[in-house]
Structure 1
Amino acid sequence: MSTAVQERGRGKRVRLDKPELLAPAGNLEKLKFAIHYGADAVYIGGQKYGLRSNADNFSKEEMREGVEFAKQYGAKVFVATNIYAHNEDIDGLEDYLRGLQEVGISAIIAADPIIMETCRRVAPELEVHVSTQQSVMNWQTVQFWKEQGIERVVLAREVSMQEIDEIKAHVDVEIEAFIHGAMCSSYSGRCVLSNHFTDRDSNRGGCSQSCRWKYDLFTKDQPEGAPLATDFPMFAEDDDAFTMGSKDLSMIDHIADMIESGVDSFKIEGRMKSIHYVATVVNAYRQAIDAYFEDPDHFVLNPVWREEIYKAANRPVNDGFFYEAPGHEDHIFEPEDKVVGFDFVGLVMEYDEATGMALIQQRNHFKSGQEIEFFGPNGTHFKQVVGRIEDESGQELTAARHPLQLIRLQTEMPVKKWDMMRKKTGK
């Protein structure tokens, strides 16, 4: 069912139900972290038909395990089948979709009408969600998809807040919108740069992110005094290289507007992002959404949520197309302003309340004397300096060097299983 809302002063909507928080899951481990850190649903890719062919996509058995894990938390699993299919892609489609239904997937995210139609015919228990690849930007197109029996429409990233208001006013169908993650320099991912430059089809899962590359620029206009040549460089050899990548989207500062817009599902981009990124971003939006519903009339953004987002940021951020069309300042044409990043260095496996000792699974190198930070979905959030490190037998170590090594250390405050331990990048 679409969002239940009531109108109040000057058109502001009061939500009667929480929006779904939808997180990316590039592999089974990321799926579990996303759900444990607060996602109501996750979207994954299978071995075929998705637009992230370089991600650690799911086998059928991994999907089954992911669905069973999600059920424990009351969460759902969606599968991206959002390629634009060529003739050779159709073979095996029916069996693939039946397999998704059999393992308990809740919905597919599709762009190609033949994939949608085939799913409704051979796997009717699966919901069909129209992918952002369809570039839906107006209420009449949303109405069209509703009339085709589609349960949810994922809006194009180019839709404004005003356009969302108009869509919600005209059509009663579930709406999903991106609230965080990478933006595309083309219309909602409809790009052929990758095809031309690398022979990798961006609309069949092979995008090489050509817009993020660094380029030299040339002109055919001969500068005065330049030697005769076909093309002339526009910049000096030591100038910054040109790129055309856009800044990332982040709506954490406008979460109240997003909630009051009536959007049913808030989507975070990033199936190829790290576990630390997924857990951090999901946890920040989870806290913000929950805090809003505790007291909508007095909601105030906690700056800690924004700080958490920045700890996982890869690029500078903006608010996309929601309020006004981005300008040149919303693109990255030169070396980026680096946000101080953090590395995921350990995962809490056990905690002994009597001794204050935590069993930590090492994920990146750390050593005694370094400042680290613990955070988790149940309120854990503190910094401390690493003291004595022991292996499982109690032998003292100067550092945790070995991947997935189990070590013990004293924590200054209680921690819980699944809490994460991080340090500043490069420290």
Structure 2
Amino acid sequence: MKTITKKPEVLAPAGTLEKLKTAIHYGADAVYIGGNAYGLRSRAGNFSFDEMKEGVAFARKYNAKVYVAANIVAHENDTDGAGEYFRTLRDIGIDAVIVSDPALIEICALEAPGLPIHLSTQASATNYETLNFWHEEGLERVVLAREVSMDEIKQIRNNTDVEIEVFIHGAMCISYSGRCVLSNHMSMRDANRGGCSQSCRWKYDIFEMDEETGQPIGLEGNPDEPFSMSAVDMAMIRHIPDLVEAGVDSLKIEGRMKSIHYVSTVSNVYRQAIDAYCNDPENYEFNEAWEDELWKVAQRELATGFYYGIPDPNQQIFGKPRKIPKYTFIGQVIDYDEETNIATIEQRNHFKIGDDIEFYGPGFSHHKQTITEMWDEDGNPLDVARHPMMIVKMKVEHPVKPLDMMRKRKA
């Protein structure tokens, strides 16, 4: 009989305070955020210290944790002020910082004692000796390199007591553990210091210059689909039992720059799958609806990365992609009247009378309906909700709750 000794943590991305609250509401045990320094997502909605305080206070209400990514590769002068920064995070109540650079790790350990440190995936930890080394340096968790296989995770688990965190869903980087200088060369934006322009996802061809016109000529004859170095996205939803049985402590979702539609959907799905397996592993059955749900926010094909072998060409984006059904996040429930079945919606995208829509909420609740009646805040009938963030009242066919989401399929 299978017994689960420890349920792994669902760790979700939170690029903004709204996303932090959404992720926790939809089942995340912990979130990771970025501050205004030392992180690898300079274009994400990074948190001020005041926003961190609010986020930590919210997380505490739900017994959730907040981690801060400070995982740049530090050049000279990049560490200036780091000690004060880490002390501030500690005093705010941040549960851990995610760091890759040894200099920043040492500064944090010496100048902000009591603030737990997690080793970032950028540090490329791929064996248990490395984990034990960092454990001796005072780190309590290591985010493994994305190149580690499932068999290697089992070996690592059997030889170390350090907490293990792995990525289970989201974008994959074409470079080893995300350490890349292509963006620096192509756009003068340093990927290792927060400025990646995702140059690998651009389209490429081999060219020569026409001597007469001075214009480039594609040597491949201007193919319909130029070459790229772009990897498909990761999805481990079908392999939760393997991850749990391998002894992974934290299951990490990528995407601090993604929408609340993405964060809520993916957190919700993995919450359901992990709970279903851990609560009754003997009778666990994969629910196809979980994967169907993930496709509603997928941007690329999905695969399992390095977990079960070296990725083959099918895990690269070549040729015409399969047509992925696209859903638009169109509103969020802010109130519901049980007597009248009227929901109050904060509009996020255009919708109108006659649209087929879907509501979803925590616990994997779903229902579909057609919009038949809606009004503005003053009770005036509406045909279309076209103004961003406008408040709309709508007749609904099933009960909904505040923070439930509303979406529709694109034509």
Q: TM-score range by the shorter chain?
A: over 0.9
Q: Deviations over 1:380-401 (max 9, x none)?
A: 2011001111011110011111
Name the SS of the counterpart of 2:164 in structure 1: strand
Structure 1 residue 338: Cα displacement: 3.2
Alignment-mate amino acid for residue 356 of structure 2: E
Give 1:298 shift: 1.1
The corresponding residue for 2:52 is 63
| 3-state SS of paired residue (2:77) | helix
Match of 1:405 in 2: 390
Aligned to 2:230: 245
Equivalence map 1:13-162=2 (5 Å): 14-162=3-151
Q: Is the 8 A contact 2:97 2:115 kept in 1?
A: yes
Partner of 1:217: 206
CA-based RMSD of the aligned residues comes to 1.9
Give CA deviations for 1:294-344 in whole Å, capped at 9, x if unaligned: 210110011111111110101100011101110111101234323112111
**Aligned 1:197-236 pairs, distance under 5 A:** 197-218=186-207, 233-236=218-221
CA–CA distance in structure 1, aligned partners of residues 213 and 104 of structure 2 = 55
Instruction: Quote the Cα distance in structure 1 between the aligned partners of 2:193 and 2:318.
Output: 28
Residue in 2 that maps onto 1:393: 378
Q: Give a deviation string over 1:224-267, Cα, whole Å, max 9, x none.
A: xx999998633223522221100100000111111111100000
CA distance 1:232–1:405, shift in 2 (3 Å): closer
TM-score by length of 1: 0.93
Matched, 1:306 2:291: yes
- Structure 1 residues 11-39: Cα deviation after superposition (integer angstroms, max 9, x where no partner): xx742121000000011111110010000
Equivalent position of 1:5 in the other structure? none
CA distance in 1, matches of 2:185, 2:334: 47
- On the 8 A contact 2:272/2:364 being kept in 1, the answer is no
Aligned to 1:276: 261
The answer to whether the Cα contact below 8 Å between 1:315 and 1:338 also exists between their aligned partners in 2 is no
Distance 1:60 1:334 in 2: 45
Distance, in Å, in 2 between the alignment partners of 1:304 and 1:64 is 37
Amino acid at match of 1:286: R
Is residue 2:349 matched to residue 1:364? yes
Find the aligned partners of 1:44 and 1:213 in 2 and give their Cα distance.
Answer: 27
Aligned residue in 1 for 2:179: 190
Aligned to 1:374: 359
Per-residue CA distance 1:366-414 (angstroms, 9 max, x = gap): 0000100000004420110011110111100111111111111111110
Q: Does the CA-based 8 Å contact 1:110-1:128 persist in structure 2? A: yes
- For 2:320 and 2:64, the matched residues in 1 are separated by 39
Question: Does the 8 Å CA contact 1:380/1:419 hold for their aligned counterparts?
Answer: no
Q: Matches of 1:207 and 1:229 in 2, distance apart? A: 31
How far apart, in 1, do the equivalents of 2:262 and 2:217 lie? 42
Matches of 2:223 and 2:146 in 1, distance apart?
A: 35
User: How many residue pairs end up in the alignment?
Assistant: 411
Checking the alignment, whether the CA contact within 8 Å between 2:268 and 2:363 is kept in structure 1 is no
C-alpha displacement of 1:92: 1.0
In structure 1, distance between residues paired with 2:219 and 2:409: 38
* Paired residue secondary structure (1:47): coil
Equivalent residue for 1:179, pick from 163, 168, 171:
168
Counterpart position of 2:245: 260
**Partner residue of 1:4?**
none
Helix, strand or coil: the match of 2:184? Answer: helix
Moved more, 378-387 or 296-305: 378-387
Structure 2 residue 277 is matched with structure 1 residue 288: no
Matched AA of 1:278: V
TM-aligned CA deviation for residue 102 of structure 1: 1.4
Q: Give the AA of the match of 1:236.
A: G
Distance (whole Å) between structure 2 residues aligned to residue 139 and residue 91 of structure 1: 32
Matching residue's letter, 1:271: R
Summarize the Cα distance change of 1:174–1:229 in structure 2 as closer, same or farther, 3 Å threshold: same
Residues 1:353 and 2:338 aligned together:
yes
Q: Residues of 1 paired with 2:104 and 2:49: CA distance?
A: 19
Asked if structure 1 preserves the Cα contact closer than 8 Å seen for 2:24 and 2:30, the reply is yes
Shift of the alpha carbon at 1:284?
Answer: 0.2
SS of residue paired to 1:348: strand
| Deviation at residue 191 of structure 1 after TM alignment | 0.5
Is 1:322 paired with 2:324? no
3-state SS of 1:364 partner = coil
What secondary structure sits across from 2:257 in the alignment? coil
State the AA in 2 paired with 1:248: D
Amino acid at match of 1:312: V
- 2:99/2:120 contact within 8 Å kept: yes
CA spacing shift, 1:61–1:215, aligned 2, 3 Å: same
Q: Which runs of 5+ in 1 are unaligned?
A: 1-7
For structure 2, the 5+ residue unaligned runs are none
Identity of aligned residues (%): 55
Q: 2:403 aligns with which of 394, 410, 418?
A: 418
Counterpart Cα distance in 2 of 1:337 and 1:208: 25
* Counterpart contact for 1:350–1:416, Cα < 8 Å: yes
Q: 1:190 to 1:244 in 2, by over 3 A?
A: same
